Structure 1
Amino acid sequence: MHTISKYIIGFLLAFFCINVVYAQQEAMYSQYMFNTLAINPAYAGSRNVVSATALYRNQWVGIEGAPSTQTISFDGATSNKKVGLGFQVFNDEIGISKTTGAFASYAYRIRMDKGTLAFGLQAGAALYTANFSRVALNPTGAPDVSFAQDVRTVQPNFGAGVYYNSDKFYLGVSVPQMLGNTLNNNTNISSSRLIARQYTHLFIAAGYVFDINKDIKIKPSVLFKGVQGAPLQLDINSNVWFFDIFSIGLQYRTEADIAAMTEIQLNSQIRFGYAYDRSTTRLADFNSGSHEFMLRYEFGSAKSKLLSPRYF
């Protein structure tokens, strides 16, 4: 590994693990519009079919210890379409730290003239571990007590969201994790030192499908992300659909990345998506980009004719 890469990872560890964190803490996805349950529990059941979605993201390829995220989610609506249920498990790793958890979602859905309005709640917990003792320190220097003890803690949390969608439009507002869990350097309360804290994240997402003709559609979408102590971030996306079978698109994430995306409907039940991100900052000099893969399976779609294509 290049010397400069070691400095980058060292800086990340020092900033995110040793000091109090004021930054984006939720796992990041480029294909959030295909995996909305990860950021908004009110999305559960919005597609009116039982579906399973798997997503794998490998970020900043070429940098040792760079983020890696895996998630699997299931959601569907009850027979009367008034309730949506969802479940997701995830694993997020960066450097010496790993967060593995699961959340269950509930959405109450109200049918309106042209769409559905849903109010959602989610609850679950995550296991956070940080292997400080595995960090390679200067063998000739004095022991560093900050790296003497590993961290292992369970962090419960809950979140809420609102989601409106029709065949051609969606708008969602959510706070997926509301509890501000803290992380201390040991279990002795009298001598423990705060080294990290979770902060509330606000997500606002919207998208619309424009018909160019019967074979081509354009689907622009945006995602606003806000968290205390970090710059506001906006994802701006545009996908072009051809024959309701495949799409290509571009994404710009303010002060961070640009991405190229593609999606293909392999058959009535299986959809595949891929995104490639490239940093717009100096970090691009030290990695070959980020790769993200998405696979969705819809149970029972082959047995019933879909009234309209599902774009969200």
Structure 2
Amino acid sequence: MNNFFNLKIAVLIFVVFSKVSAQADAKLSSYFFTPMTYNPAYAGSYEGISLSGVYSSQWVGFEGAPTTLVFSGHGTFINSHTGMGLDVINDEIGASKETSVTGNYSYHFNLNSKWKIALGIKAGVNSYTLDYNLLAIENPEEYSGFSGTVNNMNFNFGTGFYIHDDKFFVGLGIPNILAEKNRNDQVYVLSNNNKYYITSGYKFEMSEYVSLQPTIMTRLSKGESQSTMFALNSIWSEKFYASLNFEPSVSVGSFIGVRFLEKYMIGYSYDASINSFSRYNDGSHSFFVNFRLEDFWKRERCSCYSF
């Protein structure tokens, strides 16, 4: 396959992928590490303070493939019912780059002696940049409107909730309910629809030290195909972590992680494409780090798969 044909494929995928995913919420295979990015109600879901970093490189070997860098921190503050957190996300896809910074607030309270509910909101800003100079267009004179750099800033506001007991949880998150339109002087680059994330899971206590938790996340958006990911997560003695995930007709992957000195964790995941695009990439790699502390309130941890 010659370089020119590779270039045409890259430009085509960039255009298609930009229309459905740029300015959207980063969807990492091991989504259970950063649930607050999809649903602000998860702020404070861990009984202490948790700080996580994620670096993901998708479609390795494919020029212009997406890379994502996430920082997510949350904990309980003010009182045992109040969760607060911060997300910083940087996405680079081909010639486009998006950076978002959002604050999260949640309030947790008891429905009865067994069930609890958390309600959350998030607010922040998204910065979007598209550099046409990085695109190799065969006949530039035919695309006079595509030149220079597009820079846009949008405000972000989202909401969500989840309900749980000591084993089961289910939640709905809308990371951004404000319409976003990014454009240059002549054409729209992107118009982003609302996305709805439905998450659920159940924890099985296999023994005093081992637990298994199947989870599911479904993303719904007008004008886009439904996306659903299944994962089976396991924990050994709060020290060793493993997960298998599957997104029908898209990818299959796994994760391993280890916690040491109680406060620190590192992990790695690999995902392989299972569609026709698998011929053009060598899979996706993600690296995780986590640091956590106990806080004064020490509220009981959510049954959701949180760190």
TM-score normalized with structure 2 length: 0.90
CA distance in 1, matches of 2:2, 2:261: 44
Cα distance change of structure 1 residues 2 and 234 upon mapping to structure 2, 3 Å threshold: farther
Aligned to 1:270: 264
SS at 1:45's partner residue?
coil
1:120 aligns with 2:120: yes
Is residue 2:101 matched to residue 1:107? no
Q: Which residue does 1:245 correspond to in 2?
A: 239
Q: Which residue is equivalent to 1:176?
A: 175
Which residue matches 2:13? 12
Other-structure match for 1:233 = 227
Asked if structure 2 preserves the Cα contact closer than 8 Å seen for 1:23 and 1:229, the reply is no
Cα distance in 2 between the residues matched to 1:7 and 1:154? 30
CA shift for structure 1 position 307:
7.4
SS at match of 1:285: helix
The one-letter code matched in structure 2 to 1:165 is: H
Distance 2:202 2:26 in 1: 25
The residue matched to 2:7 in structure 1 has which SS? helix
Structure 2: distance between partners of 1:115 and 1:34: 23
Give the counterpart letter for 2:265 in structure 1.
R
TM-aligned CA deviation for residue 143 of structure 1: 5.8
SS at match of 1:15: helix
Name the SS for the 2:51 alignment partner.
Answer: strand
Q: Which residue of 2 aligns with 1:189?
A: none
Q: How many angstroms does 1:77 deviate by?
A: 0.9
DSSP-derived class of the 2:285 partner? strand
Asked if structure 1 preserves the Cα contact closer than 8 Å seen for 2:7 and 2:136, the reply is: no
Q: Are 1:202 and 2:210 counterparts?
A: no
CA distance in 2, matches of 1:249, 1:285: 25
Q: How far apart are residue 138 of structure 1 and its match?
A: 3.6
Greater shift, 86-95 or 236-245, is seen at 236-245
Structure 1 residues 2 and 92, CA, compared in 2 at 3 Å: closer, same or farther?
farther
Name 1:150's counterpart in structure 2: 149
Q: Deviations over 1:74-109 (max 9, x none)?
A: 111125211111111110000000001200011111
Contact 1:46 1:165 in 2 (8 A): no
* In structure 1, distance between residues paired with 2:182 and 2:49: 37
Greater RCO (Cα-Cα under 8 Å, separation 6 or more)? 2
1:164 and 2:163 aligned: yes
**Alignment partner of 1:64: what SS?**
coil
- What SS does the aligned partner of 1:147 have? coil
- Output the amino acid matched with 1:120: G
Gaps of 5+ in 2: none
Change in 2 beyond 3 A, CA 1:167/1:150: same
Which piece of structure 1 moves more, 142-151 or 65-74? Answer: 142-151
CA distance in structure 2 between the partners assigned to 1:212 and 1:77 by the alignment:
29
Gaps of 5+ in 1: 187-191
Name which of structure 1's ranges 141-150 and 231-240 shifts more when overlaid on structure 2.
141-150
- The number of residue pairs the alignment matches comes to 302
Q: Contact conserved, 1:125 with 1:157, CA < 8 A, in 2?
A: yes
Whichever residue aligns with residue 137 of structure 2, its letter is L
Paired with 2:195 and 2:65, the residues of 1 have a C-alpha distance of 22
Q: Which amino acid in the other structure matches residue 114 of structure 2?
A: K
Match of 2:250 among 249, 256, 259: 256
Contact kept? 1:23, 1:227, Cα under 8 Å:
no
Answer yes or no: is the 8 Å Cα contact 2:80–2:298 preserved in 1. Answer: no
For 1:43-82, what aligned pairs fall within 5 Å after superposition? 43-82=42-81
Match of 2:40 in 1: 41
CA distance in 2: counterparts of 1:305 and 1:145, whole angstroms: 59
Q: TM-score, structure 1 length as denominator?
A: 0.88
Q: CA separation in 2, counterparts of 1:306 and 1:78?
A: 11
Structure 1 distance, partners of 2:145, 2:301, is 57
Q: Does 1:293 align with 2:287?
A: yes
Shift, 1:22, TM fit: 4.9
Identity among equivalent pairs (%) = 28
Which residue, out of 217, 228, 247, partners 1:223?
Answer: 217
Q: Provide closer, same or farther for how the CA distance between residues 295 and 306 of structure 1 changes in structure 2, counting only shifts above 3 A.
A: farther
The RMSD of aligned alpha carbons is 2.5
CA shift for structure 1 position 216: 2.7
Q: 1:48, 1:239 → 2: CA distance?
A: 19
**Aligned mates of 2:222, 2:261 — CA distance in 1:** 43
